[in-house]
Structure 1
Amino acid sequence: MPPERMRNGQNTTHFGYTDVALGEKQGLVDDVFHKVASRYDVMNDLMSGGLHRAWKDVLVSKVKPSRTRAFRHLDVAGGTGDVAFRVARAGGPQTAVTVLDINPDMLAVGQDRVGKQRGIQGPLDFVEGNAEALPLEDNSYDCYTIAFGIRNVPRIDRALAEAHRVLKRGGHFLCLEFSDVDVPGLDKVYDAFSFKVIPHIGRMVTGDGEPYRYLVESIRKFPTADYFADLIGDAGFRNVSFTRLSGGIVAIHSAWKL
């Protein structure tokens, strides 16, 4: 990192382990999530052994939506609603949650799930939009979350700048993302499972293992937790910190707009 490089006079970035023109990455990522949208949450359970649920619970415990006053929450790259529904249930009738995703197929899955949710009192909106250019007003949200999404953004610095822009003063930025394993021995087991098992599971469940090979490769290309914390600080956030979970398989990054 940073992901942008030059090749034949063009800015390039990585799509998994492949170098692509910067302008091409978003379309390639969109195609991946178009293929996996209908089975996305099932695959999350299979790939993580259900741990993604616990990780998201920890993330939402840090949001702390008010149950007695107005609270506006933005969940980016959260099309299927997994994090948004948790925030909405944790808050009260004045907790308004916006789910934003660039992929309409992922948003459709989330919207279909709304009727099955219990304990949601406040408004819940789904918006199609790009994390690099949020179609939202400045200084308008109390909290911003993004779970397992920022590594798929072509220009991470722009997404972080946009997060800073739309948060209110005193707003909280939270990012749950795969990270660098820091337990000796676990890294080798994790690599073997990731590259040999996950694409096979994807092929069995969805009929196509290639999207999951990209997702595994994208994890390995994402910055270390320390480097990503520096990028968050460069975007203007303060009190930047991170907490590793499950031996560093994932990390939750926290920062504030002060």
Structure 2
Amino acid sequence: MKTLILSTAALALSAGFAMADTVRMGTEGAYPPYNFIDDKGEVAGFEREVGDELCKRAELTCEWVTNEWDSIIPNLLSGNYDTIIAGMSITDERLQTIDFSQNYFPPAASAYIALEAGADLTGPVAAQVNTIQADYVADSGATLVEFDNLDDTVAAVKNGEVNAVFADKDALVPFVTPETGLVWAGEDVPLGGGIGIGLRKSDTELKAKLDAAIQTMKDDGSLNALIVKHFGEEAKTF
């Protein structure tokens, strides 16, 4: 009976999307330059621009919703929004629970930052909870210390709670400055299959529309232009 109820609810959510053509875009709002909250209290960043353009090309109306990272997949499945566009890498583990669009950001490096280049990366290392970086640290044999958001991981290395932070390299770039005293440590590590839009498995129509729109942005170069705008000339592009 429980399975039947859940299935009916999923169908109702899918039907609601089909009739309204309104897509609630779920994001974290705390992972610059991918997504963050600007001075006006609105979602901004690379993924805001990409998401708005995708909805325009797919002739969909976008509404933006923020959600803490730790519960972002459960709240998608509960119907609180229709997509996850929050720097989420495509992984086999996540594909067991949700579906993904084709990637809108290519597979890129993850990296460590620390107070010194020779930091002990087998000691305590911080990573954001429920990320592929956290899984990697745990599997590496280092002591994993998880935090709810990226800022807290960086604060932990600054105050000596951990030896290093491991995260998407593009997200760590703004923290590596003479003022912070943070530097790159160890080697870059390629992880994941790129970043895609997370969707419920039942929303096949929405996935098809977003896949088509992403492909047009790849084909005309506009997606690469946004990647360079937000991540710099050295960023990996399609």
For normalisation by structure 2, the TM-score amounts to 0.38
For normalisation by structure 1, the TM-score amounts to 0.36
- Choose 1 or 2 for highest CA Rg: 2
Which structure exhibits the higher relative contact order, with contacts defined as CA atoms closer than 8 Å and separated by 6 or more residues? 2
Structure with the largest fraction of helix: 1
